[in-house]
Amino acid sequence: VNILAAWTGELGPSSLPTDHRRVRFNILSGTSMSCPHVSGIAALIKARHPDWSPAAVKSALMTTAYVHDNIHNPLQDSSTAAASTPYDHGAGHINPLKALDPGLIYDISAQDYFEFLCTQKLTAMQLKAFSKHSNLSCHHNTLATPGDLNYPAISVVFPEDTAISTLTLHRTVTNVGPPASHYHVVVSPFKGVTIKVEPKTLNFTRRNQKLSYKISFTRKSPQTMPEFGGLVWKDGVHKVRSPIAITWLPPF
């Protein structure tokens, strides 16, 4: 929101034909304004890391984003002046410099995305719409649940069935930092669930090495509103943050 950028001399700042003002810069809001900024930063990262996939670039942008302002207060919702949530700011505000050196990335291949679609109970004809220009097919052995897609953000939805007390998701990170890197995990506290991450430390011995972990959410005190927080892997230099959103569906 409120993106300051260069402005054409052909239109006034309101874009109305009756607006005869002329300015060199203007402030506009919306995804159409954020898109070129994010695209430019993504191009910068791709130039530094030409072998990275689109998912790796996106992971670097998301996991290094910040959710506090320059006086360490949570980013505000500009409409309400209350603290914003991932529903407002997503993963946070981009930090281009840190995104160039994220430490760890969550990578996703085209096959991984297709396996995600395979978990959605689509018909063969519907799946063909996504695979007609490739040789992708369902392997049915890589994603236990849709939530296991190796996405940098984590969303957990507890169903109406209160008998389901624990939900477990799996993630795999790739070391793009120093060959010998040692990370430990920190997770936000939540009112409604207890969280267990296994393992709690990741010890890498080489660059591009992949290590996996699982994160389990156990129902403790269901909330009427979604809860938000984050999971951060730290090595003393890098902070690799995944936003977490937890939602409880009300019973019928």
Q: Given a cut of 70, is residue 1 above it in pLDDT?
A: no
For 104-108+137-248, CATH gives: 2.60.40.2310
Q: What is the chain's alpha carbon radius of gyration, rounded to the nearest angstrom?
A: 21
Structure tokens at 119: 């978990």
Whole-angstrom distance, CA of residue 147 vs CA of residue 170: 8
In the prediction, which pLDDT does 124 show?
A: 87
In the prediction, which pLDDT does 132 show?
A: 78
Confidence of residue 222 (pLDDT cuts 50, 70, 90): confident
In the prediction, which pLDDT does 252 show?
A: 65
Contact predicate 98/140, CB 8 Å: no
End-to-end CA distance of the chain: give it in Å, rounded.
38
Over residues 156-174, mean pLDDT:
92
Distance of CA 91 to the CA centre of its chain: 5
Confidence of residue 245 (pLDDT cuts 50, 70, 90): very high
Q: Which of 76, 70, 103, 79 is nearest to 89 (CA)?
A: 76
Residues of the chain with CATH 2.60.40.2310: 104-108+137-248
CA dihedral (58, 63, 67, 71) positive or negative? negative
pLDDT tens-digit profile of 199-213? 999 999 999 999 999
* Amino acid in position 108: I
Whole-angstrom distance, CA of residue 90 vs CA of residue 81: 17
Higher pLDDT, 30 or 189: 189
Distance of CA 20 to the CA centre of its chain: 42
Over residues 212-232, mean pLDDT:
95
Over residues 180-191, mean pLDDT:
97
Structure tokens at 113: 């995305």
Q: Given a cut of 80, is residue 31 above it in pLDDT?
A: no
Highest mean pLDDT among 5-9, 29-33, 105-109: 105-109
**Quick one: angle between helices 31-48 and 54-63, nearest 10?**
110
Q: Given a cut of 80, is residue 236 above it in pLDDT?
A: yes
Q: How many helices (H) and strands (E) does the chain have?
A: 6, 11
Confidence of residue 67 (pLDDT cuts 50, 70, 90): very high
How many CB atoms neighbour CB 13 within 10 A? 14
Over residues 70-80, mean pLDDT:
88
Token pair 């695979």: residue: 131
Per cent of the chain over pLDDT 90 is: 72
Whole-angstrom distance, CA of residue 97 vs CA of residue 106: 18
Residue 156's DSSP bridge partners are 246
